[in-house]
Structure 1
Amino acid sequence: MIALNLLKEYISRLEAARKEGKPYERVLLIVHENLRSLYEQAGFEWLGKSSVVHGALPWYEMRRVLGSRETETEIAPSESRQVPAGLWEALQRASSAPRPTAQPLTAFSDGALDLVEPHSGKPGVSINKFDLLCPRSNCGSIILKRGVGQWVERTSVQMEPGNLSKNPTLAALPFPPEKCHWWLITPSPMEFENIGFSRPVQQNTTGPKLKLLACAECDLGPLGWSEEGGSEFWLACARVGYKA
């Protein structure tokens, strides 16, 4: 109920802005099929399967046209909807709250060993002991919550020429076939709190195309990678920050 009311409130604000002269015409989105009914209750039209390919589940397109008679009729004034009192103010406070400080991997005396703890239900599996953050000092966005990523030592992956980032914030990675430490996230990108993906890129002539992972707020990356259409997502331990 809260999700639907928030969505309707967002639409009503777009409608109000459109009437004041903003060039808003429609709202477009892609969604998994299990959320179709939620968006249809908010007046979105089901358009069919999207050309976007990412993860194991298909994506579908939906649309909400602004300014139609149906839109204006079905949207009541915002005061009449049951949005919990103070919710918008709380969301605004959360967005302006100070970001946590990201500690780099080099700040830990035992390196990656200081960042892991045993998985309570999977013997031999180590998981991230802290939230993973964007390493940019003025961002600090939470990328992954504690206990979601699995610590894995595996072959390095060439994400840029020579594995050297153009941004000094991001550590250089060893050149394949040397190994380094990664956080494995599976089975879908919904496990992330915040992540962005590049278009598929061909890193070499024989391997699969990769999507490079970056902070969805400030675009810092690449922080990691995934194979196109795959269900495994890899973050380099040395390229994320830690909320210790």
Structure 2
Amino acid sequence: MSEVVNKDTVPDEAQKDYVEDGKNKLLVKCKFCGSKILEKKTAKYVAIEKELPLMQQDANRKDGEVQKEMINEYFHVENMYIFENIGFTHPVDNYKYLICADCDAGPVGYYELDSKHSYVALSRIVQS
């Protein structure tokens, strides 16, 4: 998986209503079941590029390859105990994927085994 760190921590126009003082302004919830993942103002907005597997894979693919997409906006969580409700997959390379602990939807982000930091993809959650 490629990762490019972007020093720009200013959210794009679509996310500006959800980021305040560089942190998540609202509750972060699972977009499928509504389970609370993060409290308000607990994660830092970061603009990085990282490939994640699609949440819904095409079952008709013959090649067996995992379909991925590039995501470039995340909420950075430095300590896994900040999460209200999150699940972790088995390790894949140097990562664990983050999933909703209630409905198993995901991945909603990833956890780095080396740094022990988590990244929740803004495009894979809802905020309220």
* Aligned counterparts of 2:69 and 2:122: Cα–Cα separation in 1: 10
Report the CA distance between 1:229 and its aligned residue: 4.7
The alignment's TM-score, normalised by the length of structure 1, stands at 0.41
Aligned partner of residue 111 in structure 1, secondary structure: coil
Q: Deviations over 1:54-78 (max 9, x none)?
A: xxxxxxxxxxxxxxxxxxxxxxxxx
Match of 2:16 among 109, 113, 118: 113
2:49 is the counterpart of 1:155:
yes
Number of the residue aligned with 2:55:
165
Aligned partner of residue 226 in structure 1, secondary structure: strand
RMSD in angstroms over aligned alpha carbons? Answer: 1.9
2:9 is the counterpart of 1:127:
no
Gaps of 5+ in 1: 1-109, 119-125, 203-208
Number of the residue aligned with 2:81:
190
Aligned length: 107
Higher relative contact order (CA 8 A, sep 6+): 2
Match of 1:140 among 11, 14, 34: 34
* Structure with larger Rg: 1
Match of 1:240 among 111, 125, 128: 125
- Give me the identity figure in percent: 31
Match of 1:223 among 85, 104, 108: 108
Report the CA distance between 1:226 and its aligned residue: 1.1
Q: Which has the higher strand share?
A: 2
Q: Which has the higher helix share?
A: 1
The alignment's TM-score, normalised by the length of structure 2, stands at 0.76
Matches within 5 A, 1:69-80: none
Superposed structure 1 runs of 4+ greater than 4 Å apart: none
Number of the residue aligned with 1:6:
none
